Structure 1
Amino acid sequence: MAQFDVYTNPSKATKQAYPFLLDIQNSILSDLATRIVIPLGKLEHVRNESMQILTPIIEYKDEKLILLTPQIASIPNKILKEPIGSLAHLRDDILGAIDFAVTGF
């Protein structure tokens, strides 16, 4: 599992609104039984969540999605299957959103 890998959301209950999960945990912590993820939400399912720094709009698989940083969560790594892509090229935006959530700057 690599930092900034994208996984299909395994939850039947939330998959339609949040089709992907972004793994933000550093690989140095790979021995833990959990991974820290941020959901990627479809814009039509998200209301008033957009704050440019905290919840940037990103493009993935030709679709505009919102990085829902306030919904950061820890999930068991065994439920994440094979990664389907990576957002490592957006590292600065992702870390900026996390930093803003924690520090407000």
Structure 2
Amino acid sequence: MQFDVYENKNASTKRRFPYLLDVQAELLDSIGTRVVVPLAVETESKEIILSQLMPVLPVQGQNHVAVTPQLAGIPVRELSSQVENLSNFRTEILAALDLLITGV
């Protein structure tokens, strides 16, 4: 579901990006893939944080940076169980996606 957060099951990336944020609209549930934005622990992120492009979001009581430039499509079967929903941060998340895709 859009704005759900999942634990990252990928062994090669889960240390750097412990969570994945689903940003895909539910309208497209039937296609078998989801577009996700990796979430990095704020203190471990070495990227330059541009506040609008890479908003800081709370997951499980800890701040994480949405690494929007690294969004990717993954098969639904690669998602684990949902740990949180960030619908309350819809405005910030969509602003980051808009900036990445349209430059606005």
TM-score (norm 2): 0.94
Distance 2:30 2:48 in 1: 33
Residue 72 of structure 2 aligns with which residue?
73
Distance 2:63 2:8 in 1: 16
- Aligned: 1:54 with 2:28: no
Q: Deviations over 1:39-70 (max 9, x none)?
A: 01012332133001000111221111100000
Distance 1:10 1:66 in 2: 18
SS at match of 1:84: strand
Distance 2:18 2:64 in 1: 9
Q: Shift in Å at residue 17 of structure 1?
A: 1.3
The 5-angstrom pairing of residues 15-54 of structure 1 reads 15-54=14-53
- Aligned: 1:3 with 2:9: no
> Runs in 1 of length 4+ with deviation above 4 angstroms?
none
Q: Shift in Å at residue 9 of structure 1?
A: 0.2
Identity %: 35
SS at match of 1:30: helix
Gaps of 5+ in 1: none
* RMSD of aligned alpha carbons: 1.0
TM-score (norm 1): 0.93
Distance 1:36 1:86 in 2: 15
Q: Deviations over 1:44-98 (max 9, x none)?
A: 3321330010001112211111000000000011111221110011000000000
SS at match of 2:94: helix
Residue 85 of structure 1 aligns with which residue?
84
